[in-house]
Structure 1
Amino acid sequence: MEADAQRAGQTIPGEDWVQLFNGKDLSGWTPVGAESWSVESDGVLHGKGLTKAYGYLETNRDYKDFQLSLRFKCVGDGNSGVFFHTAFKPNSVDTTQGMQFEIDCTMMHHTAGVYAEDGRGWVVWPAPENEGVVRRGDWNDYFLEVVGNRYRSRLNGVQMVDYTDPKPGAPDGRIALQLHAGGEGNMQFKDIWIRDLSK
């Protein structure tokens, strides 16, 4: 099933796909940190940095194996990411586990690559010729897949990474949208759908 194509055509995915963001409010999500997360009248989820700290919006439940389809737009100069298998320390923006699929429109730097929050740092980058696939100031179609220790990403129809991690971290956890530290985070998201492959 080509979730990206369905996103572009604004058609509803099959019954095994579930709307993770309803376009109306933050039901099913919890802010982590002091940054601003709001839903605009056109169904866009808007994250905006207010402080110099990190900010996240995490799902209220854990996911193990899944496919995730969403659209994002980089409005400001900060970068972002889609975290998975994530957990946060109580009352903190510090993670205790997790990985992320990168979003960085400013420097065109490794968007759709995978970064580990366990101290390893980058585990896989896109090919150099694909670094310019991300579009700044316009909507980007993002398709992410996590099955066991295999991570795959597709950006604007281009396969970016397909990586099997020899040292995987936690087997499940929350999904979280990130605003990078520095106070310049300004990101928009919409059309967020998930297909749970764990069932």
Structure 2
Amino acid sequence: MNLKNVRIKRKYEACIIMLAVLLFMGSCGSTKEDPADWQDLFNGKNLEGWTPKIYHHELGDNYANTFRVKDGTIEVNYDEYEQFNERYGHLFYKQPFSSFHLKFRYKFTQQWMEDAPVYTYRNSGVMFHSQDPKTILKEQDWPISVEYQMLADAEDGNPRPTGNMCSPGTEVIFEGEMDPRHCIESTSPTIPWNEWVEADLIVYGDSLVIHKVNGKTVLQYTKPQIGGEVANGFDPEMKKDGQLLNSGYIGLQAEGQGVIFKNIKIKDLSNKE
């Protein structure tokens, strides 16, 4: 099959997936949502059900109280650090999910570790379809996963959309083709760093993924799968390039920038595929 035919085939497959999901969503548009469908992932009191994994540290070591609970929120806070030292962290929920609708709110703080890479400034994210945190090695910097990336205004005059996609050790199909970029920008506006943002992540297994910001769809892509680069120090058995990601773990990110998460809820969509 020549390159032109491959591209046509990919675009056709993407259109079929999109059409199927849109038809489903349209058929359910008149159905009143039941609050009981939503599960709270965070109890507002402690980190029960969540486990940290920080680069250079063993699973479960919440170094310098990086992840903490304050006033009913989960904070990423660095006030007990002397140096960041590449301690990229993730706080994982206890169970994997396949098809789901995740909702959460976030806001950045003024805190940023100046020895962290410059790209981490007003930058965080939520990982999904991640490898089991028990398989992440002590000296592995990023989990093999897909990321709902959160950015905020850096006050430098440059646009910084939020709700982007980043792909440590993974790849996705965007606009009908495998996209080689590590991060794909959304269509969201640039949002001030100190504003609460409502984020939605809608995932249909290994088919369609939808990112929303403040209720508006800002990015869509399909077929999340293992591949690409960026993640380092992983067990080679965990990185089988080309393997579609149908499920995985959810993790809140900490990469040198202070951030607050709250109202973290999930709805299982397994019966909606």
* TM-score scaled by length of structure 2: 0.60
Change over 3 Å in CA distance of 1:70–1:166 after alignment to 2: closer
Q: Deviations for 1:1-59, whole angstroms, at most 9, x for unmatched residues?
A: xxxxxxxxxxxx6111000111100011001113611111x201101243232011111
Distance verdict in 2 for CA 1:123–1:187, change over 3 Å: closer
Distance 1:93 1:80 in 2: 18
- Amino acid aligned to 1:85: H
Partner of 1:20: 41
SS at the partner of 1:165?
strand
Secondary structure at 1:15 match in 2: helix
Measure, in 2, the Cα distance between the counterparts of 1:123 and 1:105. 15
Which residue among 137, 149, 157 is the counterpart of 1:90? Answer: 137
Q: Which amino acid counterpart does residue 249 of structure 2 have in structure 1?
A: R
Are 2:165 and 1:114 equivalent residues in the alignment?
Answer: yes
Are the equivalent residues in 1 in contact too, given 2:163–2:219 (CA < 8 A)?
A: yes
1:91 deviates by: 3.0
Letter in 2 for 1:75: T
Secondary structure of the residue aligned to 2:138 is coil
Question: How far did residue 117 of structure 1 move?
Answer: 1.4
Task: Report the CA distance between 1:96 and its aligned residue.
Answer: 4.9
Contact kept? 1:124, 1:163, Cα under 8 Å: no
Q: Which deviates the most, 111-120 or 53-62? A: 111-120
CA offset digits 1:73-107 (Å, max 9, x no partner): 01134311010011242334534521001011144
Contact 1:23 1:43 in 2 (8 A): yes
Of 63, 66, 73 in structure 2, the residue corresponding to residue 44 of structure 1 is: 73
Point out where structure 1 has 5 or more consecutive residues left out of the alignment. 1-12
The residue that corresponds to 1:62 in the other structure is 96
1:113-141 superposed Cα distances (whole Å, 9 cap, x missing partner): 111112654363213xx332x33112111
Q: What CA distance in whole angstroms lies between the structure 2 residues aligned with 1:198 and 1:20?
A: 17
* C-alpha separation in 2, matches of 1:156 and 1:31: 28
| Alignment partner of 2:249 out of 170, 174, 177 | 174
Q: Please, what is the CA RMSD of the aligned residues?
A: 2.4
Structure 2: distance between partners of 1:192 and 1:152? 17
Larger % of helix: which?
A: 2
Cα distance change of structure 1 residues 66 and 126 upon mapping to structure 2, 3 Å threshold? same
| 8 Å CA contact retained: 2:152, 2:161 | no
CA contact (8 A) 2:104 2:264 kept: yes
Distance 1:67 1:94, change over 3 A: same
Q: State the match for 1:9 in structure 2.
A: none
Alpha carbons 2:225, 2:245 under 8 Å: kept? no
TM-score in terms of structure 1 length: 0.80
- The correspondence for 1:162, drawn from 220, 230, 234, is 220
Of Structure 1 and Structure 2, the greater strand share is in 1
User: Larger relative CO (CA 8 A, sep 6+): 1 or 2?
Assistant: 1
Amino acid at match of 1:144: L
Larger radius of gyration: 2
The percentage of aligned residue pairs carrying the same residue is 28
What does residue range 137-148 of structure 1 map to in structure 2 within 5 Å? 137-148=194-205
Contact conserved, 2:103 with 2:200, CA < 8 A, in 1? yes
CA contact (8 A) 2:96 2:249 kept: yes
